[in-house]
Amino acid sequence: MRQITETNFPYPVLLEDGGDYNDCSFKVNVDYKISDNKMLLNATYDLNCPFIENLINNNEAVIFLNIEQKLFRKSIMLKRIIENPYSIDYAIDLDSLASGFNLEIMPMIIATKDITFEYDESMNYTFSLFDGEFICKKGSILGYGNLNPFELPNENKISSIFTLSKMAPNEVVPGTPYKIDFGGNVIDIKVVPDIFDVFVEKKNAEPTYSRILNSVFVYPVIQLAVINMFKDFDNCKNNKWCVALANKISAAKHDSFDNLRVLELETEDIIEYTNIILGDLLEDSFTILKGDED
């Protein structure tokens, strides 16, 4: 989807920073979260342009969100729920989206009927030089907000949900080579400095070792992650790592994760689910390798 940065229309068009209008703005804020295999969008917008506001109030124009992705395209209308701000909630099934491709959301102001109007003082002075009236056909674009790209969980690159970082000296506990933090969007594996340095040295010196070394660190971590998912799903279901692992297990088992997690988790299940996830990890390495914070 192309981001609009300037206009070349035969009539004034409103952009986020005003565009062809003076002291006007059109801004849409879109937030999202992942829950129960759905992408939940919340959009709120502020419109400061008397001329466009009047068109909307007269049902001559509406605000749309144009949502696009490789396999998905949808336009939804933002209705005035309360006076300010305008807002809407919308859910997209993740199964309808292509893994690895960003979702792009472009706000637009669209004419709902043929409109004929004259120059208004809120418009850029240049348009006062036009001879005659401006004509906009039904479906014409009267305004654009900025493009909002959203990165989706990529179930094909499971390694992107892990980071390996070096422990700070005050974090080191004798006899504990590494500790695991499941609390964020990614699973952070914090390793004592000596082991971390050797890991990075070997990895950089001989790429053949990368997959083996990664699996040494990650295999037990995946097992713990699987156990966490089944025992405490409500507290981790919105984290990127949990969504990615649940999607991968569901795809391999040809069943929804909601159905799988109500079953009693056996040792054989933990091993099977770990091997399902590890299969992708062996194909590439950690996304991030971090050293000291400074």
Question: What are the pLDDT digits (tens) for 38-82?
Answer: 778 787 878 899 999 999 889 899 888 888 876 677 666 665 433
Q: Are 276 and 198 part of one and the same domain?
A: yes
Provide the CB-side half-sphere exposure for 50 (13 A, CA). 6
Q: Is residue 64 part of a domain?
A: yes
Looking at the DSSP bridge assignments, the partners of residue 69 are 72
CA nearest neighbour of 52 among 26, 88, 34, 30 = 26
- In this prediction, residue 51 carries a pLDDT of 93
Q: Are 164 and 82 part of one and the same domain?
A: no
End-to-end CA distance of the chain: give it in Å, rounded.
38
Looking at per-residue pLDDT, the higher value among 209 and 225 belongs to 225
Q: Are 129 and 216 part of one and the same domain?
A: no
pTM of the full predicted structure?
A: 0.48
Taking only the tens place, the pLDDT of each residue in 111-127 is 999 999 988 888 988 88
Q: Are 177 and 272 part of one and the same domain?
A: yes
Phi and psi based region of residue 36 (left: phi greater than 0; alpha: psi -120 to 50; beta: remaining): left
Q: Is residue 20 part of a domain?
A: no
Judge contact between 203 and 228, C-beta under 8 A. Answer: no
Taking only the tens place, the pLDDT of each residue in 13-28 is 998 888 899 999 888 8
Q: Are 208 and 122 part of one and the same domain?
A: no
Q: Is residue 2 part of a domain?
A: no
Q: Are 112 and 49 part of one and the same domain?
A: yes
Q: Is residue 10 part of a domain?
A: no
Q: Are 137 and 42 part of one and the same domain?
A: yes
Domain count, the chain: 2
Which residues, other chains included, contact 35 with Cβ-Cβ below 8 Å and sequence gap of 6+? 237, 238
Q: Are 85 and 145 part of one and the same domain?
A: yes
Name the range with the highest mean pLDDT among 2-6, 25-29, 53-57, 83-87.
53-57
Q: Which of 123, 150, 177 is the last residue of a domain?
A: 150
Range of the domain at 117: 25-150
Going by their DSSP bridges, the two strands 38-48 and 86-93 should be labelled as antiparallel
The answer to whether the Cα torsion of 111, 117, 122, 124 is positive or negative is positive
Give the residue ranges of DSSP H helices in 149-266: 193-205, 209-231, 233-236, 240-253, 257-261
Q: Which of 109, 134, 150 is the last residue of a domain?
A: 150
Q: Which of 113, 134, 150 is the last residue of a domain?
A: 150
Q: Is residue 17 part of a domain?
A: no
Q: Is residue 4 part of a domain?
A: no
Q: Is residue 220 part of a domain?
A: yes
Taking only the tens place, the pLDDT of each residue in 161-176 is 777 788 888 888 888 8
Q: Is residue 267 part of a domain?
A: yes
CATH of the domain at 46: 2.60.40
Q: Are 282 and 224 part of one and the same domain?
A: yes
Q: Are 256 and 208 part of one and the same domain?
A: yes
The average pLDDT across 86-92 equals 71
Q: Are 144 and 165 part of one and the same domain?
A: no
Judge contact between 63 and 56, C-beta under 8 A. Answer: yes
Residue owning tokens 């990529």: 154
SS3 99: coil
Q: Are 171 and 133 part of one and the same domain?
A: no
